[in-house]
Amino acid sequence: MGSLVTLQAPASLADVPYQPGKLSVRKASMRDTNAILGLINAYAAKGIMLPRTEFEMSENIRDFSVVFSGERLVGCGALHFYSPSTAEIRSLAVDHNWKEHGVGRILMDALEQEAREHGLQSIFAFTYVDRFFNKMGYQLVDRGDLPLKAWKDCLRCPKFQACDEIAVLKLL
């Protein structure tokens, strides 16, 4: 089991009436699978993310980090390695009730720290929310500049022939 880190919500939330309190981030475990699937597949139902199966989650659970408020999973994201120097941020999802409360930033900070600990030189993502990634220091790139292996999920995407996701990259 990964270590548990407790973080205070960002100070900028002081003016927001909905106070999430303390959030904790840790590496995911098998017991988190159903909650992660529920979060990801809720976005998939809206055509925003690719759906994931229990089998896929079991295979990739070690890639995931999760954010909790108490006992409630409020966010997830994965760091998927493609080479000794590059990884992809995948399946980044925040419970819709917890958006704008720092959950995405906490996840990104944890995933980027993990990438640095593994000596990676860059991380990338495919996203519809390029503004968020831009705030996190990512730059827009041509998808052709990214590893071909990253396209394996694209092959099963219903939008493959008319992809509208935006490719972003951050050098570490």
> Per-residue pLDDT tens for 52-64?
999 999 999 999 9
Bridge-based pairing of strands 86-94 and 72-81 is antiparallel
- Confidence tier at 51 by pLDDT (50, 70, 90): confident
- Counting every residue written for the chain, the total comes to 172
Query: What residues does 169 pair with on adjacent strands?
Result: 124, 139
> Does any domain span residue 17?
yes
At residue 107's C-alpha, the angle toward residues 102 and 72, to 5°, is 75
Task: Confirm whether 113 is domain-assigned.
Answer: yes
CATH number for the domain that contains residue 26? 3.40.630.30
86 and 120 Cβ atoms separated by less than 8 Å: yes
- Asked, for residue 58, whether it belongs to a domain, the answer is yes
Q: Which residues form the domain of 22?
A: 5-125
Structurally, the chain folds into a number of domains equal to: 1
Give the pLDDT band of residue 163 (cuts 50, 70, 90).
low
Q: Which two tokens stand for residue 73?
A: 């999973």
Q: What is the pLDDT of residue 45?
A: 92
Instruction: Measure the CA–CA gap between 73 and 77, rounded to whole angstroms.
Output: 12
What is the model's pTM? 0.81
The answer on pLDDT for 33 being more than 90 is yes
The predicted structure's pLDDT at residue 11:
36
For residue 101, the tally of other CB atoms under 10 A from its CB is 25
SS3 content of the chain, % helix, strand, coil (to 5): 40, 30, 30
| Residue at 59 is within a domain | yes
